[in-house]
Amino acid sequence: MCRKPVKLFLNVRVSCYKDGRKHICVKLGWGRANNTVSADRSSSSVLGEGEQQPAMRAVSTISAGGSNSTQQQHIRWQKPGTGRLKCNVDVEFTRSLNVIGVDMFIRDEAGQFVAAKTLRSGPICESGIGEALGLSYAIQWVHELKLTNVDFEMDAKRVVDYYNKVSNDISEFSATIDDCRRRCCYWFENSKTKRAA
């Protein structure tokens, strides 16, 4: 049996609540991201309306049930180890289109853009299975790019916890995560997959 070469990191989902429904409110400025990330790797900032900021920075505004008060949450990108890449994975569920969307973004240790991909898959499924499929798609894509020194990061706590702790669960979810683990053992150097808080 292969030892687990990939550890999954957890990333905080940036979201806002509007009219009682959850919407993703991540603003990314990919156009200027590389220049600004190089100049300022350690700070985080609040994104203004229409403002373009580095992809490594994001902030959410959460309005509590009809209240005018808002809470801002700063998210700071954490770089991978020396000589490594990081693939951030996010999955969205769009019931009106009956699809899940998977966003994948790879950066190097300096925060420089390497590659990005977005895809849709349908029909929509249970959130845990959708998040597990998102990780599976990301692993497959990174393998197709012939990259082997990649850490993965996503916001799905259930996926991260299951990936990092072996369980005897027999379900579609566990089968998908077990397959992700197997492919990481065969395809990648000792890397990490985590949830960043």
Determine the Cα–Cα distance for residues 53 and 40; give it in Å rounded to an integer.
11
Compute the mean pLDDT over every residue in the chain, rounded to the nearest whole number. Answer: 67
Determine the Cα–Cα distance for residues 186 and 47; give it in Å rounded to an integer.
40
Given a contact cutoff of 8 angstroms between Cβ atoms, the answer to whether 57 and 75 are in contact is: yes
Whether residue 75 lies inside any domain: the answer is yes
Tokens 């990061």, located at residue: 153
Asked, as a colleague might, if the bond just before 123 is cis with ω within 30 of 0, I would say yes
Q: What percentage of the chain exceeds 70 in pLDDT?
A: 57
Q: Is the model more confident about 184 or about 58?
A: 184
Q: Is the model more confident about 178 or about 169?
A: 178
Whether residue 162 lies inside any domain: the answer is yes
Q: Is the model more confident about 116 or about 183?
A: 116
pLDDT exceeds cutoff 50 at 15: no
Whether residue 59 lies inside any domain: the answer is yes
Angle at CA of residue 120, ends 12 and 59, nearest 5°: 25
Structure tokens at 105: 């973004």
Q: What per-residue confidence (pLDDT) applies to 29?
A: 32
Tokens 């082997």, located at residue: 148
Q: Is the model more confident about 185 or about 19?
A: 185
Whether residue 1 lies inside any domain: the answer is no
- In the chain, the number of structural domains is 1
Looking up residue 183, the CATH number of its domain turns out to be: 3.30.420.10
pLDDT exceeds cutoff 80 at 122: yes
Angle between helical axes of 172-187 and 127-144 (0-180°, round to 10): 20
Given a contact cutoff of 8 angstroms between Cβ atoms, the answer to whether 87 and 69 are in contact is: no
CB atoms within 10 A of CB 127: 15
Determine the Cα–Cα distance for residues 40 and 42; give it in Å rounded to an integer.
6
Q: What per-residue confidence (pLDDT) applies to 154?
A: 86
Given a contact cutoff of 8 angstroms between Cβ atoms, the answer to whether 124 and 98 are in contact is: yes
Q: Can you give the residue range of the structural domain that contains 83?
A: 6-195
- Categorize the per-residue pLDDT at 59 as very low, low, confident or very high, splitting at 50, 70 and 90: very low
- Amino acid type, 160: V
Contacts of 141 (CB under 8 A, 6+ apart): 104, 117
Structure tokens at 135: 């990780």
